[in-house]
Structure 1
Amino acid sequence: MPRAIWKGAVSFGLVNVPVRLYAATGEHDIRFHQVHRTDGGRIKMKRTCSIDGEEVSYDEVAKGYESPDGKLVVLSDEDFDELPVASGHEIDVLQFVPVDQVDPMMLSKPYYLEPESRAAKPYALLREALTATDRVAVVKVALRQRESIALLRVRDKAIVLQTLLWPDEIRAAEFEVLETEVELRPQELTMAASLVESLAGDFRPEEFEDDYAVAVKKLIDARLDDADVAPAAQADEGASDGGTRGGEVVDLLTALQRSVERARGGSGTPAPSEVTDEAAGGTATKKTATKKTAATKTTAKKTAAKTAAKTATKTATKTAAKKTAARKSA
């Protein structure tokens, strides 16, 4: 577990639970540096002033707000220090609410709360009370100089503090197309429900994998071993044409039927059809790309990419060698 990022106490009624706050999640994205393509040198970003062009040191950087009419207000650290920050180092429970009353759209970043050794019992008391009543606690907390509304909920044996977005931070789905009257046939509704049932199951996140991250890691490992690596597969050129593929159309009910059969593992079933806007009236487009053509294109792209990669590597090596020799002679 990483280092605690906050220390305070949960207060509900007359009960006070000293806790430490830890980030509950961590992204596994591979971080890349910006480098010079020819020799691999790191690219440095400099802070410069747009008025005089001079480089600005970090201690000269301030926060500024520009109004819609172009007026600029510069705020100092002292200005922020004078602002009232409610909660301080206290997580104040405001109320306990049913879990289903919290819109998942509001959920933001989760943190684990670890109790101090002397607070194990009141921590367990709060945890069991939340579990027994099937409720979450609505709290206010100040993190990184900003007050947030948050929830206290139970995950396994730990209490999780999950920050929430404020109501005015959630945008409404204002799409005119949603106001369009759409007629759905009973057969279509029945088949759609059948498709849902055929794909029904229990959510087990460990069964899913970030294929892109895995592929990037393998690519990097192979390059580190100086191996000959094939480039990532290219997307089908016709995949985003937005039109009919092959000109064949099927009605929505048939598309749903095929989806159900495919989900149930029926042998020899065709690839699921792509439903377009016309499907509401009974039409949909179907993928008809030929496997042989796709295979030929993929092979050609892989061969060209391999040649380009080898050429770039040789060029970078020669350039780096020249620079090293120039430094030594200097």
Structure 2
Amino acid sequence: MRSIWKGALTFGLVNVPVKVYAATEDHDVSLHQVHNADGGRIRYQRKCEVCGQVVAYADIDRAYDDGDRTVVLTEEDLKSLPAERSREIDVVEFVPSEQVDPITYDKSYYLEPDSASPKAYVLLRRTLEQTDRTAIVRFSLRQKTRLAALRVRGDVLMLQTLLWSDEVREVSFPSLEESVRISDKELELSSSLVESFSSDFDPDEYVDEYQKELRTLIQAKLEKGDAIDTDATFGESEEEGGEVIDLMEALRASVERSRASRGGKGDEKKPAAKDEADEPAEEKPKRKRAKKAS
């Protein structure tokens, strides 16, 4: 890996030189656009509206338009900003880890100690681990001030940039609790279904099926040309679905299917008595009269 930034973690008088590395990478198949008539490559060019010339990226500056006037900002202008010149990751505060809402997480970066003695790095990592705290930090990267969470992952310190509070949308949907009625039996079966799927999360067990199938398709086209039978490549798809009419039956069937697929055996019990709460209102008086008659 190649570091993308060098600086120092600072909290109080403690200074921890570090290198920053991108923690994630994109493995999606790269596709480009072509003309469907002749396969010609479609390209986008940066063209100046004044002179009509195609402009190289190195010759492009940025500008702000307030509606009446335009201010041009050169690369030197942007680099002169104090925040951009700073090479420090400043710890603002240490907070309980559970207080950082996962919705605010953005990009992830690994930090590597960048000094002859990694003692301060190891001390900070162990302190965060022992106190179960996350450090909230500020730093500048790629012409943007960042807020980030500094936390421990294994033996490594990592940064996860955070969205600013005004970047997270507030949402308010109409309350469903008053309009939907859930019986105790439905909740019990739903909980059983959750339990039957319960496991420890192992991300290595999951793959991007779309990208896998896309690579299969590309390989088939490379070997056989464009005229291929999609069903022969992927196999016929089985379409399932449809609107679920009987929620209780769907839950029961799902629990049994999950148990069977995991090699478990469902408890052999007599069919449960029908939940009174699930009966139509007009049936309840009839049942009560029948009980009295008996």
Task: State the TM-score, normalized to the length of structure 2.
Answer: 0.76
- Aligned partner of 2:141 among 132, 143, 154: 143
Distance (Å, rounded) in 2 between the aligned partners of 1:229 and 1:117: 57
**Cross-structure match for 2:229:** 230
- Structure 1 unaligned spans of 5+: 268-280, 283-330
Cα distance in structure 1, aligned partners of 2:54 and 2:209 = 42
**Counterpart of 2:46?**
47
Matches within 5 A, 1:121-160: 121-160=119-158
Measured against aligned partners, the alpha-carbon deviations of 1:7-54 in whole angstroms (never above 9, x if no partner) come to: 00011222211111000000101111222334443222122355x582
Q: 1:34 to 1:86 in 2, by over 3 A?
A: closer
- Which residue, 191, 198, 201 being the options, matches 1:200? 198
Equivalent of 2:170, from 152, 172, 186?
Answer: 172
Corresponding position of 1:257: 252
The farther-off stretch of 219-228 and 192-201 is 219-228
Distance 1:82 1:19, change over 3 A: closer
RMSD of aligned Cα (Å): 3.0
Equivalent-residue separation in structure 1 for 2:27 and 2:17 (angstroms): 31
Deviates more, 1:213-222 or 1:105-114: 213-222
Is the alpha carbon distance of 1:222 and 1:72 closer, same or farther for their aligned partners in structure 2, counting shifts above 3 Å?
farther
Q: State the distance in 2 between where 1:109 and 1:216 align.
A: 26
Q: What is the 5 A alignment of 1:15-94? A: 15-49=14-48, 54-58=52-56, 61-65=60-64, 73-77=70-74, 79-81=77-79, 83-85=81-83, 88-94=86-92
- Provide the C-alpha distance between the structure 2 equivalents of 1:104 and 1:179, rounded to a whole number of angstroms: 25
Q: So what's the TM-score if we normalise by structure 1?
A: 0.69
1:130–1:136 Cα contact (<8 Å) kept: yes
Structure 2 portions without partners, runs of 5+: 264-276, 279-294
Change (3 A) 1:223 1:91: same
Q: Is contact 2:113-2:121 (8 Å) kept?
A: yes
Distance 2:39 2:146 in 1: 43
How much has 1:86 moved relative to structure 2? 7.0
**Cα distance in 1 for residues equivalent to 2:175 and 2:239:** 28
TM-superposed deviation, 1:121: 1.3
- Identical columns (%): 46
Q: Which letter does structure 1 place at the counterpart of 2:193?
A: L
- Secondary structure at 1:152's aligned position in 2? strand
Q: Cα deviation per residue 1:41-88 (whole Å; 9 max; x = unaligned)?
A: 3222122355x5823414564434566xx5564441255345441781
Question: CA deviation digits over 1:122-147, x for unaligned, max 9?
Answer: 11111111111111111001110111
Task: State the match for 2:102 in structure 1.
Answer: 104
Structure 2: how far apart are the matches of 1:256 and 1:92? 51
* Post-superposition offset of 1:119: 3.6
Aligned partner letter, 1:109: K
Shift of 1:236: 7.8
Amino acid at match of 1:210: D
Change (3 A) 1:193 1:26: same
- SS of 2:215's equivalent in the other structure is helix
Equivalent residue, structure 2, for 1:274: none
Equivalent runs, 1:239-278 vs 2, <5 Å: 250-265=245-260
The letter of the residue matching 2:161 is T
Structure 2 counterpart SS, 1:46 = coil
Separation in structure 2 between the aligned mates of residue 235 and residue 222 of structure 1, nearest angstrom: 18
Q: Distance between the aligned counterparts of 2:177 and 2:252, measured in 1?
A: 28
